[in-house]
Amino acid sequence: MTIRRRLTVSFLAILILFGLNLVIYFWSSQKRSASVEDLRLAISRQILVASIKQQLNDIQKQIALLSQITAEVATGGGDPEQVAQFKAQIDSIAEEIKELQDIATADGKPKIETFEKDFKALGESWRVFYENFGSNTVKAITELAIRGDPLGQRVIQRLVPQLQEDEKARVERSSASFYAIARLTNQMTILIFVISTLVAVIVAYRVSSYLARGLGELKGGTALIGAGNLDYRIILKGNDELGDLAQAFNEMSVKLQSARTELESANRELELRNKEVEKQKQVSESLLLNILPSQVAEELQKNGSVDPKYFEDVTILFADIAGFTLATEKLAAEELVYLLNDYFTAFDHIVKRYNLEKLKTIGDSYMCVGGLPVRYPSHPVDVVMAAFEMIQAVKERSRPDSLTPWSIRIGIHTGSVIAGVVGIQKFAFDIWSEAVNHASRHESSGVPSRINISERTYSRVKDFFECEHRGKVLTKDKKEVDMYFVNGILPTLLDDSKQIPPTAFLRRYKVYFEKNPPDFPPFLINSNLAETNSSQKIRTDPAAKVANRAAGSV
């Protein structure tokens, strides 16, 4: 017998037992529901009979009290409101008798019909008595004596107690029937469940034992074949799927023996090719990361394009080498390129240490930005510290006997930009906005070896650096703009500990930005920038102020 047939027979047996369980369940549920409904109706009838009896007794007591009142003092019968209330009581009892009739059993309906008929006569007699009492006492007393009292005794003392006894007996029978049906259905349910469980366990055990033996042999054989023992053969008795599978494994081991040699040879060749591909991939990724920020390069590799992004707050730095144009006339081409590469390489190291992003170089101009592609709030302060290090790097490379006494002008502005990648050949990551133009204007309006910042940048760094207000400076586009020179670290943030960075500076940086600074220009601790003296001269010398103000129009 095949495994499929074994499983089919087992499944059908379990399915039949499951269906039998469902049949027993629905049968027992129906029986319980019928007995519960019968019990509920019996209890409802018993409650209605008790309520009717109570109301009849109340009315009979009321009639008895009225009949003992003398005609001279009786006033109840003539009051329309009291007559209406009395009729409402009679109608309420009639409604309950009607409800009792609706839910009565077939054997109880004749007695209820008799009771209903007698009550109608009794109620009519009581109405006549109540309506005439006080106005026609003789008629009221005569009605009560001739019809009311005999009917009341028949209804209240004989019919109602008999109905109560009948309904009590029905409640007891319904309750006993309910419990008997509940016991029977529970016993049958448990019995069928136990039988189903035993059959399912036996079937599952037989099938699982057979499969376990066959699968165990297959597992052991495949483990040996997988371990490399391709001479091993799996032997299984039977013509079912497990036997076919064992034969397939045996044939596979034969084919694997012949394929192993070819695979080993192919793997060696593939390994050599993978190493070459990985080497080329590393070269291409290195070139791409040298052109684009890591996040932008990753997006370009993943999507094939880079979506433009808006950065609401970045700090842009433009640096330009003063005297470069004159140097091109005095130096040989290779020497000029060598010197420029030396400067810009130093700038690249500084930019990397301060987590800034280099954008491009145009001739002797160098452009970088802080605050993108990863947004962080400390970029204005970080860019200014990087600017100080750029000035220091230029100073360290300038010699008095050099033909190129270069210096550097730096302009910084903080604002919003749009960043993206343009082009398909020699593409570049760049930024665009009016903020870029402002940064360029501040560079061109600056002074060599000084950091010229905008008013927006000043508002972001004034708590860290000592700044000098230049006043309104006329830029190339004929606009007067407030500009500031950065002279150095605030004296209040310097201390005598010689710690780098100073303790007070480090504490304020952590409070403002919740992190440590990426780096710190150590020369600012002692010198606080040598240009401080020259800035004092600019502030006191009127001629220097005029020259400084005119720098923007150059």
| pLDDT tens digit sequence for 236-269 | 766 667 777 777 777 777 777 777 778 778 888 8
More confident residue, 431 or 149: 431
pLDDT recorded at residue 517: 94
pLDDT recorded at residue 410: 95
Dump strand ranges (E) for 404-520: 407-422, 428-432, 451-454, 465-474, 480-489
- Would you list the DSSP string of 123-153? HHHHHHHHHHTTTSHHHHHHHIIIIIHHHHI
Q: What is the mean pLDDT of residues 423-430?
A: 69
Vertex 395, ends 394 and 400: CA angle to 5°? 120
pLDDT at 464 over 80: yes
The strand pair at 480-489 and 357-362 is best described as unpaired
DSSP helix/strand/coil, 362: strand
Cα separation, 438 vs 452, whole angstroms: 11
Tokens of 289: 């990361």
pLDDT recorded at residue 69: 67
- The DSSP secondary-structure symbol of 1 reads -
pLDDT at 482 over 80: yes
pLDDT at 396 over 70: yes
DSSP bridge partners of 429: 421
Give residue 148's pLDDT band: very low, low, confident or very high (50, 70, 90): confident
Q: What is the mean pLDDT of residues 535-549?
A: 38
Task: Let me know: does 394 contact 530? Beta carbons within 8 Å.
Answer: no
pLDDT recorded at residue 451: 94
pLDDT recorded at residue 401: 55
Tokens of 411: 């302009």
Share of the chain above pLDDT 70, in %: 83
More confident residue, 303 or 549: 303
Cα separation, 44 vs 105, whole angstroms: 12
5 membership: H or E segment, kind and range: helix 3-67
DSSP bridge partners of 421: 429
pLDDT recorded at residue 332: 76
The residues, ordered by sequence, that sit 6+ positions from 487 with a Cβ below 8 Å of its Cβ are 465, 466, 467, 468, 528, 529, 531, 532, 535
Give residue 520's pLDDT band: very low, low, confident or very high (50, 70, 90): very high
Distances from the Cα of 325 to the Cαs of 64, 322, 467, 475, 497, in angstroms?
133, 8, 30, 21, 44
Q: What is the mean pLDDT of residues 103-119?
A: 82
Give residue 297's pLDDT band: very low, low, confident or very high (50, 70, 90): low
pLDDT at 550 over 50: no
DSSP helix/strand/coil, 400: coil
- Phi and psi at 438, nearest 5°, equal -60, -45
- Would you list the DSSP string of 150-171? HHHIIIIIIIHHHHHHHHHHHH
Vertex 337, ends 332 and 342: CA angle to 5°? 130
pLDDT at 16 over 90: no
pLDDT recorded at residue 542: 37
pLDDT recorded at residue 288: 55
Please name the amino acid found at residue 477: D
Please name the amino acid found at residue 123: G
Cα separation, 327 vs 330, whole angstroms: 5
Cα separation, 483 vs 462, whole angstroms: 13
pLDDT for 328-380, tens place per residue? 677 777 888 888 888 899 999 999 999 999 988 888 899 999 998 889 999 99
Share of the chain above pLDDT 90, in %: 21
Segment of 23-32, 303-312, 444-453 carrying the highest mean pLDDT: 444-453
pLDDT at 184 over 90: no
pLDDT recorded at residue 234: 76
More confident residue, 453 or 425: 453
More confident residue, 554 or 241: 241
Tokens 């010699």 belong to residue: 399
